[in-house]
């Protein structure tokens, strides 16, 4: 597969996250997609890791290229939600920064809210930031597993 195509495929979580956010309020199908598409993204990301293993890119370069969209999303999220106020926050950038994590099975991390139960004013900010970080780390881990599997063949 061409390297340009592989780089473009790293945008798939953003597209899937956008699709999930657009359809989440659609009766029945919205919630179905909310649960199914992120699992599909995980399978796709594993497959993408195997495809990167077939290139002449090194392990480290492959991880950096594949995780760039997630890291940029995380940086945008931190900028918009930690360094901006409600009045200065850019709605488009703030929304875009959450598309990557929307494409991961964040529903598996509901236990995070319990970590901050004793400090309720931190629940929202800390939990949502944790979800953003876990989303990036999770997809990097899945990618690495796919890459290693691809190299073994």
Q: Average pLDDT for residues 120-127, to the nearest whole number?
A: 62
For residues 41 and 54, is the Cβ–Cβ distance under 8 A?
A: no
Q: Average pLDDT for residues 13-22, to the nearest whole number?
A: 95
Count, residues in the chain:
153
Helices and strands: H and E segment counts in the chain: 8, 0
pLDDT at 121: 55
Give the number of other Cβ atoms within 10 Å of residue 83's Cβ: 9
Q: Which residue has the higher pLDDT, 123 or 100?
A: 100
Residue 141 and residue 118: Cα distance in Å, rounded?
A: 31
Q: Average pLDDT of the chain? A: 89
pLDDT at 127: 73
């Amino acid at each position: 597969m061409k390297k340009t195509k592989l780089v473009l495929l790293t945008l798939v979580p953003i597209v899937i996250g956008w699709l999930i956010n657009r359809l989440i309020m659609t009766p029945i199908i919205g919630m179905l997609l909310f649960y199914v598409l992120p699992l599909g993204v995980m399978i796709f990301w594993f497959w993408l890791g195997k495809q990167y293993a077939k290139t002449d890119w090194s392990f480290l370069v492959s991880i950096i290229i594949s995780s760039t969209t997630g890291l940029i999303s995380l940086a945008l999220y931190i900028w918009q939600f930690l360094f901006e106020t409600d009045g200065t926050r850019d709605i488009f950038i703030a929304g875009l920064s959450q598309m990557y994590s929307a494409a991961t099975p964040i529903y598996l991390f509901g236990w995070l809210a319990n970590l901050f139960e004793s400090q309720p004013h931190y629940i929202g900010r800390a939990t949502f930031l944790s979800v953003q970080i876990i989303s990036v780390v999770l997809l990097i881990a899945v990618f690495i597993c796919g890459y290693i599997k691809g190299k073994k063949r």
